[in-house]
Structure 1
Amino acid sequence: MFTYDMIASFNELETSLYNYISQNSEKVVYMRIRELADEAHVSTATILRFCRKIDCEGFSEFKVKLKMHLEKNKKTTLKESQHSVMEFFERTFKGDIDENIQKAASLVDQAGSVIFIGIGSSGILAEYGARYFSSLGKFSMYIKDPHFPIHSKLDNSVTIALSVSGENNFTVTHLNQLKHEGSRIISITNNKYATIAKISEINIPYYVTEEWFENANITTQVPVVYILESLAREIYKLNSYEGDKL
């Protein structure tokens, strides 16, 4: 409800009012303007000025918007973690995920370098994936900085993109740059119809129900860990087989 620009525009009294409202939202929606002025130790003029700065014509409109905001962000009942994990594995056994993992492993095995890319929780897993692959003999690096410069030729590389939605602008932009520099793209997304999946050479979708809590995506990442570890182990097997042939 309160944007960065709005908060930055508040003067000292308005900031004090903002702090009071943030800590007492449930109570404020039922207050009269004079009651709020007394409780927050500001004038009614300050409250009206505050309302205009957050795009409300008056105190009544502000209370309506505040109430709607509170309703939207009410705590939801979260699914048990076992539910999400079982949902993934039930679909996995019925689908072609193993075939996709084998195709991806073959592509990575032939590459000279591996780059993981993601942001947010996917960025954390990109770092984990790079470490796990490196631990099993396939040296890898990761990118989770939106401003990371990419200006090198990457003709013998594979990029593994991680994204729940498959629509993250940062990841899409970087993938376009990486493709332009010659890197081949594998993506792990929650569905195969997302933008990131479509621009990938190989996509490994995992299909679990997305969950949100107070504007944060809390969709389970267990499927991604499973796919990353399975992929790394498959690459290790390929390397061992090739070593035995020599």
Structure 2
Amino acid sequence: MSSRELSSAELHLWNIVENNPDKIAKMSIVKLSQFAHVSTATIVRTMQKMGYSGYTSYRESLKLKSNSSSSFSVLNDADDKIRSVITKNEIEMNTTLHNLSYSTLEDSISMTKQAKLVYIFARGLSESIANEMMVKLQLTGKYCEFHSDPNIIKTIAKKIKPDSLVIFITLNGETEELVAAAKILNKNDIPILTFSTNSNGSISHYSTLSFIGYQSKTNYFPEYEVRSRLPLQIMTRIFSDAYSVRTNFYKSK
């Protein structure tokens, strides 16, 4: 969203936080409320309109920016609307990286190494991400299959053995056939690794390990379910590359 679409109170707040990043990064929401003379509700509403999940998300982005030596020259030339598009992707990337759990990464690698077979299930726009992961795992010598057909997914889920691993790549964790498959797998004690952006998604309840990325609430195609898969791409690529390193495939080359 452009700052031109903010209310007068929200614009007042946004100007303050943009002009005082070092101070704001150290302030609680209550302190900022007192400093800017606005309500905490105004703070949350403003941050959400500007593409953040809330004030905490905005503060984290400030900290990440302060620790980064890189700058994007394209932002200097872009107008407010294009700048918000670029910033949205930067926030999704930085926050997803910030939220990554090292222990989850290492445990997921170990779980994948132990599995005799790896199955990847995904639907819709997540299929291209799943296909990339399948190819990378196959290149390391791991037997891996990718399926996107809902009937095949549900049928195969009933036949998978405990020495296998199933990887789900799902943005919201609520795709019906994926949740149904996860429920079956969980009942049969099959290890499940999930990549999603929704920690409360139904599929997460059945997962052994989960990577949860950050997704902006801003959707530039509101009439269609084509939200950004950038967080999924980041997490799956880190996992695949880390797996290559841990299995010495990368070193051997």
Q: Which amino acid aligns with 2:114?
A: Q
- 1:34 aligns with none
Q: Is the 8 Å Cα contact of residues 164 and 189 (structure 1) preserved in structure 2? A: yes
Q: Which amino acid aligns with 2:96?
A: T
Q: Which residue of 2 aligns with 1:176?
A: 183
Equivalents in 1 of 2:136, 2:159: separation in Å? Answer: 24
Q: In the alignment, does 2:124 pair up with 1:120?
A: yes
**Could you tell me which residue of structure 2 aligns to residue 239 of structure 1?**
247
In 1, Cα distance between equivalents of 2:117 and 2:88? 33
Match of 1:218 among 222, 226, 246: 226
Match of 2:208 in 1: 201
Q: Give the % identical residues.
A: 16
Report which stretch shifted further, 202-211 or 78-87. 78-87
Moved over 4 A (4+): 77-81
Give the aligned partner of residue 138 of structure 1: 142
Q: Which amino acid aligns with 2:210?
A: N
1:1-246 aligned within 5 A? 82-148=86-152, 149-150=155-156, 151-210=158-217, 211=219, 213-240=221-248
Q: Distance in 2 between matches of 1:104 and 1:81?
A: 32
Counterpart amino acid of residue 130 in structure 1: M
The Cα shift of 1:81 comes to 5.0
Q: Is the contact between residue 213 and residue 231 of structure 2 (CA under 8 Å) also seen in structure 1?
A: yes
Instruction: Tell me how far apart the structure 2 counterparts of residues 183 and 78 of structure 1 sit (CA, whole Å).
Output: 45
Give the C-alpha shift of residue 79 in structure 1.
8.0
Count of matched residue positions in the alignment of Structure 1 and Structure 2: 167
**TM-score (norm. length: structure 1):** 0.60
Q: For residues 94 and 238 of structure 1, what CA distance do their matches in structure 2 show?
A: 21
Structure 2: segments with no counterpart, 5+ residues: 1-80
TM-score of the superposed pair, with normalisation by structure 2: 0.58
Distance 1:82 1:104, change over 3 A: farther
Distance 1:192 1:101, change over 3 A: same
Alpha-carbon contact 1:101-1:227 (below 8 Å) kept? no
Secondary structure of the residue that 1:137 maps to in structure 2? coil
Deviations 1:79-136 (A, max 9, x none): 8653333112321343243432222112111111111111111233222221222123
| Greater shift in the superposed pair: 212-221 or 114-123 | 212-221
Question: Which residue is equivalent to 2:14?
Answer: none
